[in-house]
Amino acid sequence: MELTFKSLLLLAAAFYFLLRITAYLLIAHQNRIFAKSHNCLTPRRFPSSFLGLPNWVRVMRAAKRGDVLEHIASRYPTYGNTWKGRILFGASIGTIEPENIKAMLATSFKDFGLGPERHANFYPLLGDGIFTLDGAGWEHARANLRPQFSREQVSDVGALEVHVQRLMNRLPEGDGEVADLQSLFYCLTLDSATEFLVGESVDSLLSPELNPTGDVDGGKEEMSFAQAFNVSQTYLINRTRVRGLYWLINTKRFRDANAIVHRLVDKYVDMALHPEKRARKISEKKYVFLDAIAAETKDPKYLRDQTLNILLAGRDTTASLLSFTFWLLARHPHIYKKLREEILLAFGTGRNGEGKHPSFSALKDLTYLRYVLNETLRLYPPVPLNGRSALRNTVLPRGGGEDGLSPIFIPKGQRVDYSCYALHRRKDLYGEDADTFRPERWGEGIGRGWEFLPFNGGPRICLGQQYALTEASYTVTRILQKYARIEVAGTHTGPTMDLTLTVAPKKVLLRLWKA
Ligand code: HEM
């Protein structure tokens, strides 16, 4: 019998599919043996018709409405603290079980990573940096950053005072006048983070124009940086939502925004490579991250990637914490009053030479302030959604079976998502009033383990935790020293939260009174 080209092609295709099916069955068999030997049971199913397409549409609709965090959190009470389903064709596992998160971040750290998808998705903005790398690249990036966060560096509240003072100068002097604190906090954290990390501040709080959306836009390069940074991050989260199809979302707007962000960072990289171009001399006692890595390599792309990753970490997270703190305080006047009493007792009003500026160690003694910040981080963790990918076949300790108490099998390549937003609102962990802002609960012995994770845990725990808490404590203290009372101004319609890689309230429009 003579074989035509067409029949040869058909034969090859059949052989290929047979090989694929055999490989699939073999892997499924091995996985079953692995799961059985670890006593794994199947997690509860999250309904996923049509390969999870309707689930994905629901997420996209919630994102448009601005309530995607609540939408995701609403799955847990119905389907258990760990469930498995499908979203946009792929298998999806979600968990808010502290034991599982602890396994991914600490006890089985080597079995989990950020995964290749995160690297490829974030690469156009962040390149190869601490937020995109696993393994040796991550270890190196983290080792370079560690000296930046020594106690000596982090406790320098004098460096913060300059920027906080500029923020205060932009607050209204007349009693009962309105300010949008959210946009000011984004400028504050950008200014202080650039000074802290690259040795020179962008000084956005000195810009004459601050537009009300939280972006600064004064026509100068550094002014459009904030806007571009927001646009780029919105694209990154949208790319994450379409999973393996992230490469389809690569518009000119995304590329332009990335280019603007890169241009600003390149300016600092250039200064680090040519210190004679610096406007200000940096104290030799100070560790400046960018200068330290520039002494190690002259590769501008490497320097840009490392710097941009840490700027991303430093700006939005602390601005989110500050914004939500004031958003909540304005809605709970008795808590504002109690917190102010603690602050005035320790430091006075700081006005006309009366009282004093808070020191690093004295700030740490303010118990109620710590409770208020913890409670804000609990209800509104700045990084509300996170996840890890399995680097090899592995196991998570909880979620299997109807009672969810048995281990579950996680195959290599599987992503597991966790929501700190939902975890922090679990009623069995925080009580029936878990949705209520009640700082006093932090005096009742809660949140000591893996059920409170605003800064993550394990070897990849946030490096900037102390710096962020110091900046937030200092800023809250200085504002409360000055203002006796705050009130929500006007009613804001539409989505109340902005979710990119971090979450922040859309606006924090407040009226402020000095007396
Ligand atoms: C309230 C403020 C902050 C919160 C809630 C926060 C939270 C987090 C979280 C959840 C992660 C883990 C991210 C992941 O899994 O990919 C993280 C990582 C990190 N954060 Fe923060 N962060 C804050 C402020 C800062 C600041 C101000 C800096 C630096 C100036 C910083 C530096 C870092 C770095 C370098 C990492 C990466 C650690 C690693 O992968 O080894 N953070 N942070």
Q: What is the pLDDT of residue 138?
A: 95
Q: Which of 42-56, 297-311, 489-503: highest mean pLDDT?
A: 297-311
User: From CA 511, how far away is CA 78, in angstroms rounded?
Assistant: 40
Q: What is the pLDDT of residue 497?
A: 83
- Ligand 1 centroid from CA 465, angstroms: 7
Minimal-distance CA residue to ligand 1 atom 28: 464
Mean pLDDT of the 355-378 span: 93
- Ligand 1 neighbour 463 (Cβ under 6 A): yes
Task: Dump pLDDT digits (tens) for 154-195.
Answer: 888 989 999 999 999 999 888 999 999 998 999 999 999 999
- Ligand 1 centroid from CA 462, angstroms: 4
- Ligand 1 centroid from CA 130, angstroms: 10
Is 150 within 8 Å of 331 (Cβ atoms)? no
Helix, strand or coil, per DSSP, at residue 305: helix
Domain layout of the chain by residue ranges: 38-104+383-410
Helix, strand or coil, per DSSP, at residue 502: coil
Q: What is the pLDDT of residue 355?
A: 65
Complex-level ipTM: 0.99
User: From CA 266, how far away is CA 289, in angstroms rounded?
Assistant: 15
Mean predicted lDDT score pLDDT of the chain: 90
Instruction: Among 70-74, 212-216, 232-236, 263-267, name the one with the lowest average pLDDT.
Output: 212-216
- Ligand 1 neighbour 127 (Cβ under 6 A): no
For residue 381, is it left (φ>0), alpha (ψ between -120 and 50) or beta? beta
Instruction: Among 98-102, 280-284, 440-444, name the one with the lowest average pLDDT.
Output: 280-284
- Ligand 1 neighbour 464 (Cβ under 6 A): yes
DSSP string covering 97-135, please? Answer: -HHHHHIIIIITGGGEES-HHHHHHHHHHH-SSTTT--H
Task: Quote the pTM value.
Answer: 0.92
Confirm or deny that 462 is annotated as ligand binding. yes
- Ligand 1 neighbour 140 (Cβ under 6 A): no
User: From CA 385, how far away is CA 280, in angstroms rounded?
Assistant: 39
Minimal-distance CA residue to ligand 1 atom 3: 317
Task: Dump pLDDT digits (tens) for 391-400.
Answer: 999 999 999 9
Task: Dump pLDDT digits (tens) for 371-419.
Answer: 999 999 999 999 999 999 999 999 999 999 999 999 999 999 999 999 9
Task: Dump pLDDT digits (tens) for 318-341.
Answer: 999 999 999 999 999 999 999 999
Q: Is the pLDDT of residue 219 over 50?
A: no
Residues 289-295: contacts with CB under 8 Å, at least 24 apart: 289/144, 289/145, 289/148, 289/197, 289/198, 290/197, 290/198, 290/199, 291/199, 292/144, 292/147, 292/148, 293/144, 294/269
Mean pLDDT of the 38-59 span: 91
- Ligand 1 centroid from CA 313, angstroms: 5
351 compared with 422, residue with greater pLDDT: 422
Specify the DSSP element, H or E, that contains 507: none
